[in-house]
Structure 1
Amino acid sequence: MKKFALIISLAIISVYAIGNFHVGNDDSVQEAIDNASNGEIIFVEGWHNETIIVNKSIKIEGVHNAFIEKIIVESNNVTIDNISSYSIVVNGSNCTISNCNISSYGIVVNGSNCTIYHNFISNCSAALSIKGNDNVVYQNGFFNNDYGIVANYSNNTIYHNNFIGNTINAIEKGNNRWYSEELQEGNYWDDYNGSDADSNGIGDTPYQINGSSDIYPLMNEYDIYPPVTQANVMLINGSIGNDDWYIGNVSLTFNIIDDNPNNTFYCINNGSWIVYEDPISFTEDGIYFVEFYSVDLNHNYEAVKNITIKIDKTKPEINYTIFPPQPDGKNGWYNTSVEISLSAYDDFLDALYYKIDNGTWQPYEGYPILPDGIHTIFFKAVDKAGNDAIDNITLKIDREPPSISIEQPNGSFVKGLYEIKYNASDEVDENLSRNISIYYSYDNGSHWETIASNLNNTGSYLWNTHLFNDSANALIKMVAIDDAGNVGEAY
């Protein structure tokens, strides 16, 4: 029965160095190679449908699942690391192909003294064709290919590889060593049917490869698979807010899933990498971008993962400004339009709202229109975690003067005790209590005498005309003043 294995993507931790190149998704890898000098590193990110020719002694390193369609290495001392591709052809010597995912056409090594290490090669006609001498091939996975390795030349060393699901695992056309003599360990072959009487993990009989053999066949898959690290966030106190925010302190722990775990490394907000030992506490407000990975005892590196921890335990601080800053009418009233500017301080502010009295909350989008009257204006600031702060202020606004009219006298002569009748009203100061005054002019408005002042708004006043000069040009003036100091007059 053939065994099958999951192909795991690989990643090696790198830091962009000054003087090296970073090729983004929309950039040309070949252009970077053309501009590079021997010894430099080209970091590649994204998907690149191009065939590149590497004719300099450089390193090409993938970042975040980089893909290059085809790679042809023409120079010596070239390293291709952590790249996914359809095909890699190595014509140079002393080259290294490591941590790559290859499918469709495989790897062809025409050079010598090359290292093929920790690659996953699948679904190819020939996963690895060796056409040079003195190469080392170890800790690779060959999965579901027509041929796993076709070794044409001699003195190549091949060990600690897994051959799973291939039609033919290996073909020998030269004189190669399919094991490590120093370690006395070979490869894992899924079609090996030998036994292991002494239970030392090595088959008791060689694995035959058409004229050659692996004399130390492994009974179990060699560990070429990276660990899996689980990140666990625990709320220590407080509560969970909106959109994955924490309103409280949290603790971060890592759990490694691997048969041979070694270390977990992490860094916070692009800081230095730290060996994980104890739970990590987060107690200050902020957004923490935590990257992490694990490595096992067989030097299998997990692809870098990340988790974002967002903490906001602090409510927003509301600030508002009123213009005019002080009431411009009487008795604490504003008799002009009032503008309110609302803001809030919070590192993670989300929205501002206001409402008038018991109304509904409205998004603050500039100065709200405030109606006349005595109103309580409420302000609310909400941050992204859901913390909110509420404040309020009560304002008295009356921009309109009272409405007043005289019903009698209406142009007729008056004498003796005469009842003056009037209508006075105000939308805000409803009763106009002690705010009505009546004046008399005998000379058509040039001089005025007070008939009565500080009257209640009763609608009438009994005037003793004997106390005032007779005149054919007399005028009566009614004045109503509301609490805000707005004046309404009628003649």
Structure 2
Amino acid sequence: MKKYPLIGKGLTVSVILLFVATGIIPSIAQDIGKSSQPAARGNWLYVGGSGPGNYTKIQDAIDDASDGDTVFVYDDSSPYFENIVVNKKIQLIGEDRNTTIIDGNGTGYVVNLRSDSISINGFKIIHSGSGINSGGLVVSSNNDSIQNNIISDNGDTGVYILFGTNTTIKDNFILNNNGSGIQLATAGHNTLISNHISSNRDAGIRMSGNNNSIINNIISANFYNGILFDYKAQFNIIEENTISNQQVYHGIDIWFGENNSFINNDIFNNSFGIRTTTNTKNNHFYHNNFFNNTKQVEDVSLNQWDNGYPSGGNYWSDYNGTDVTQDGIGDSPYNISGGTNQDHYPLMLPYGMTNLTINLVPGTFKFLISIKNVGSTTALNVQSLLTLKGGFLFCTREIVGVTRPLLPGEEIAITLPIFFFGFGYIRMNNSVWADNALIFTQKINGILLLFFFIHKH
């Protein structure tokens, strides 16, 4: 980003007051050494850039800051070879998470949060030490926010929360760390949401503690487990995550865990989708989709694998039961490997799926397609394909259509944007599908005479 020093650009007092009033970092950032901000936000201190009074080290700016201040770090002096300790209630903001780099140079923690109510945003945090007292980012405080960072290539764990509570870890890429991606150690009431956690040497997430929420993360290709419950994990919520392709072990491995809820996760291409031990009990699993794991589940303890009727249980790609009543729930239970547990109400389709219908209405010159969502879930990224076989045609033989999402019960009509002309016996396949709907195909046979189509039943 291009920098414009405050002095030398002759910015007027009115512009300064505008920035003060809004409390926003402008899209074209000023290289200001220290700039007074609204009282509620404190002062702004700048690191890097070319403004007069700007700091050259992040730690120096933190040391001079007070509670409520913001330290903004430009990327033009990156990488910053530092091991940072944040012991004040401040915001630490990087200009761009791809290019504002804090490099621990192979020693200790790269960033250590020791005060409550710290926010860190917009950094690439790399190259911690390995072993004890090492890692990309350690949190030993409460009510912190770690958002929009890249935390990668550290010698140990990427993010380590020790006894911390009410911290939010959101929208980060946590990759290629030599320990776990994230470790919660006796930590409670934390939220991990919308992170990409991949290719870490240990687990994607390793946790002990209570009342944590792990929601909408992509957890893939970690060396051992996607999520590991390693000690006294209770009343945690694991929901809407994609957990796939762990290299050695399992999607979710529960060594010690009670009263946890696992809801609406996609778990596929792991050794075991989920594995439990005798130290687990009273966990609840429902509305999860299990695809193509070497073993879908092994449960040797007493856990619940459905949510009753009509809510249903889980989807199992190897379930071969029937659904005579056509209520979307299998007529026979799915047996859980390892013990006597069953999913009494296995789902016939992956949870979150819906059903589409399509109808082609031939006309003169033009054809009309009607697509309807007959399910109970919004259809995402709806697409259609009409193929024409046989005859002699003076038009294309494949017509692809992409429509907007369809709400439950919604129907749309599309006039195909081509001119039908030709003659002969024609076979039409008219198909529709969506990201969360299986393909539905209508077949129509008939005769095309120039631009008239005669439907043959």
TM-score by length of 2: 0.44
Pick 1 or 2: higher relative contact order, CA cutoff 8 A, min separation 6: 1
TM-score by length of 1: 0.41
